[in-house]
Amino acid sequence: MRLRLLAALAALTMPLAAQATDGYFSHGYGMKAKGMGGVGTAVAQDPFGGAVNPATMAFVGNQWAIGLDWFSPRRTAQRTGSGPANIDGSVESDSTNFFIPEFGLNYMVRPDLALGVTVYGNGGMNTDYPGGQIPAASACATFNPGQPSYNLLCGNGSLGVDLSQLIVAPTLAWRFLDTQSIGIAPLFAYQQFEANGLQAFAGLSTNPGALTNQGHDSSTGWGARIGYYGTFAERFSVGAAYSTKIDMGKFDKYSGLFAEQGGFDIPENWNVGVAFRPTPQWLLAVDYQRINYNKVPSVGNPSNLVFQCTGGNASACLGGSGGAGFGWQNVSVWKFAVQYAINERWTVRGGYARSDNPIQPADVTFNILAPGVVQDQYTLGATWTLDKVNEITAAFMYAANNSVTGQSLFVGFGAPPSTTETISLKEYSFGLQYARKF
């Protein structure tokens, strides 16, 4: 009965997420990790190992946790220097408040074997720019004639995309020695996507009827995460985990936008970490994470492939087998954390993470839709232990404003070489989590 109740609680977290700090991955999973810069590979504190390192679940005991994160991204885009083309403009995305649930459960079947589940989300490629920045008397009329005004990408009405990914990760962890464990988590993913305001790119698409303004589409897929965790001399712990690429079904409604006729897989990623406890009260930890975005064509293919499309190479067109993408580079993330137990009731923590920027200046135009450019993330957190079985954890994150400027792709379609675009992003989040041991 108890496990059935906890499974029902997991279902409550099924609404999709829209959070992104490391590209479109979250900086951390579980509020304790989120308060520690996202560190979690070599730290066994809560039942969110399915999102980071499933091997840690062999050391967290019987517990479940449910949390809710308020996430607030602030995104802006600007174009200048277009001169007689008259396509200059600036805009700020309207959507700035998201509420993101998460859930984790761990159950010790026997002292050396744990079963659990982690439910978490990725996303953040979410923008909602109002239209009307560019007048009718502009170069936009060349690509999309007859409109009274245009959005920043010369389309009709509002401009933006919405990508959300929900991942359910059942976990199995085996403690093969008193201080060593391995774990595996099959990954089931469900994702939704919507794009609006891209009418100007119809001539560059293999399927203009499946390019934009088609409402939400969804797809599912499977992958796996494996991990190792071990402690040494009581004070040191190490961890490592690898997640395969999650092969997703295609977005049929957007087969004229994403490469490979609507393909949008979740990229492979891996992480390693080390933690040190100089005293029972102090914890110091470092994680390194690698996310291989460029192995997903719809994300990693360069956006300037559209110029090959105009040269007669249909495979390079939007939606083509080798079609243009967002040009995202692989990302390396360093995460640093400190935690201090003040007493039996209160534990405080902090962290810092530094992420590579996946977006290069040459790809700024397409990434007006998805300006995932933040790099420096600062976090604080605390846990209040109510009694032997109940606790409340809070976490705060600030991702400092970062901008990328590059020459506009519209230069290749007649705008002067001085035409440039700048995309900017900063983020805030604050979350609360309730956990209970059983």
Compute the distance between CA of residue 233 and CA of residue 392 in angstroms, rounded to an integer: 30
Residue 398 above 70 pLDDT? yes
Which is nearest to 68 in space by CA: 12, 142, 148, 150?
A: 12
| Token pair recorded at residue 182 | 């391995």
Instruction: Assign 3-state DSSP to the chain and report helix, strand, coil percentages, each to 5.
Output: 15, 45, 35
Average pLDDT over residues 285-290: 98
Q: Give the contacts of 369 (CB within 8 A, at least 6 positions apart).
A: 125, 127, 153, 159, 160, 161, 195, 326
Report the number of distinct structural domains present in the chain.
1
Compute the distance between CA of residue 230 and CA of residue 2 in angstroms, rounded to an integer: 30
Average pLDDT over residues 120-130: 83
Residue 18 above 60 pLDDT? no
Average pLDDT over residues 178-200: 97
Compute the distance between CA of residue 346 and CA of residue 196 in angstroms, rounded to an integer: 47
Compute the distance between CA of residue 110 and CA of residue 288 in angstroms, rounded to an integer: 32
Q: What pLDDT, in 10s, does the model give residues 62-83?
A: 999 999 999 999 999 999 999 9
**Three-state SS at 420:** strand
Domain carrying residue 159: 2-437
What element of type H or E holds 141?
A: helix 140-143
Compute the distance between CA of residue 44 and CA of residue 180 in angstroms, rounded to an integer: 12
> Which pLDDT value is given to residue 22?
81
Compute the distance between CA of residue 225 and CA of residue 56 in angstroms, rounded to an integer: 12
- The answer to whether 381 and 416 have CB atoms below 8 angstroms apart is no
Q: Is 184 exposed, middle or buried (0-12, 13-18, 19+ CB in 10 A)?
A: middle
Confidence of residue 19 (pLDDT cuts 50, 70, 90): low
> Which pLDDT value is given to residue 125?
63
List the CATH number of the domain containing 313.
Answer: 2.40.160.60
The amino acid present at 249, given as its one-letter code, is: G
Mean pLDDT of all residues belonging to the chain: 94
| Token pair recorded at residue 360 | 């290069």
Q: Is 37 left (phi over 0), alpha (psi -120 to 50) or beta?
A: left
Compute the distance between CA of residue 11 and CA of residue 271 in angstroms, rounded to an integer: 28
- The answer to whether 24 and 16 have CB atoms below 8 angstroms apart is no
- The answer to whether 263 and 250 have CB atoms below 8 angstroms apart is yes
- The answer to whether 154 and 198 have CB atoms below 8 angstroms apart is no
Confidence of residue 20 (pLDDT cuts 50, 70, 90): low
Compute the distance between CA of residue 188 and CA of residue 248 in angstroms, rounded to an integer: 10
The amino acid present at 331, given as its one-letter code, is: V
Residue 430 above 90 pLDDT? yes
**Cα angle, residue 230 at apex, residues 229 and 234 outer, rounded to 5°:** 140
> Which pLDDT value is given to residue 310?
83
* β-sheet bridge partners, residue 390: 436
Compute the distance between CA of residue 18 and CA of residue 162 in angstroms, rounded to an integer: 8
pTM comes to 0.93
Residue 16 above 60 pLDDT? no
> Which pLDDT value is given to residue 243?
98
Compute the distance between CA of residue 156 and CA of residue 103 in angstroms, rounded to an integer: 39
Q: What pLDDT, in 10s, does the model give residues 308-343?
A: 998 889 999 999 999 999 999 999 999 999 999 999
Residue 4 above 80 pLDDT? no
- The answer to whether 418 and 44 have CB atoms below 8 angstroms apart is no
Average pLDDT over residues 356-363: 96
Compute the distance between CA of residue 156 and CA of residue 347 in angstroms, rounded to an integer: 52
| Token pair recorded at residue 289 | 């994470």
User: What's the first-to-final CA gap in the chain, in angstroms?
Assistant: 13
Q: What pLDDT, in 10s, does the model give residues 235-245?
A: 999 999 999 99
**Cα angle, residue 274 at apex, residues 35 and 347 outer, rounded to 5°:** 35
| Token pair recorded at residue 274 | 């080390």
> Which pLDDT value is given to residue 8?
44
Q: Give the contacts of 265 (CB within 8 A, at least 6 positions apart).
A: 221, 245, 246, 247, 248, 296, 298
Which is nearest to 154 in space by CA: 146, 143, 165?
A: 143
What element of type H or E holds 140?
A: helix 140-143
Average pLDDT over residues 101-120: 97
Average pLDDT over residues 129-137: 96
